[in-house]
Amino acid sequence: MHEMAIAEGIFDIAKEQAAKENSARVMKIGLLIGEMAGVEEEALRFCFSALVRGTLAENAELSIKRVPLVGRCGACDYEKPIENYNFICPRCGGGLSVVSGRELRVEYVEME
């Protein structure tokens, strides 16, 4: 499952941070997930909790922030939120390219 691979990546980052800080417990992990990142939040939470069972991140809370999809016009630089997969610039008819909404990253790791 796609979400399992993502959960593993997140767990690896948390473990690395914990090792760096000599921490025995991860309390909270902040995630930034774009609307277009193709991540099912519930599936990710489920995979993560299965993965961390019995580890230093067992009780870690996943704090997920969704990033809306925003496009910018290549011709006139106009920026707008993208709705209904409409990538056409309302100003000039040019094509919008995605400037945010595809990210998937760990923002912070809180440890005890």
- Residues within the interface to Zn ion (CB under 5 A): 73, 75-76, 78, 89, 91-92, 94
Q: How far is the CB of 86 from Zn ion (least distance, A)?
A: 13
Task: Give 52 or 89: the residue with its C-beta nearer to Zn ion.
Answer: 89
Task: Give 46 or 87: the residue with its C-beta nearer to Zn ion.
Answer: 87
Q: How far is the CB of 94 from Zn ion (least distance, A)?
A: 4
Written as six digits, the tokens of 103 are 């990210």
Task: Give 29 or 73: the residue with its C-beta nearer to Zn ion.
Answer: 73
Q: How far apart are CA 102 and CA 67, in angstroms?
A: 8
Question: Are 60 and 76 a contacting pair, CB within 8 Å?
Answer: no
Task: Give 59 or 97: the residue with its C-beta nearer to Zn ion.
Answer: 97
Classify residue 85 by its DSSP letter: T
Q: How far is the CB of 79 from Zn ion (least distance, A)?
A: 10
Give 106's contacts (C-beta < 8 A, 6+ positions apart): 10, 13, 14, 29, 30, 31, 32
Q: How far is the CB of 71 from Zn ion (least distance, A)?
A: 10
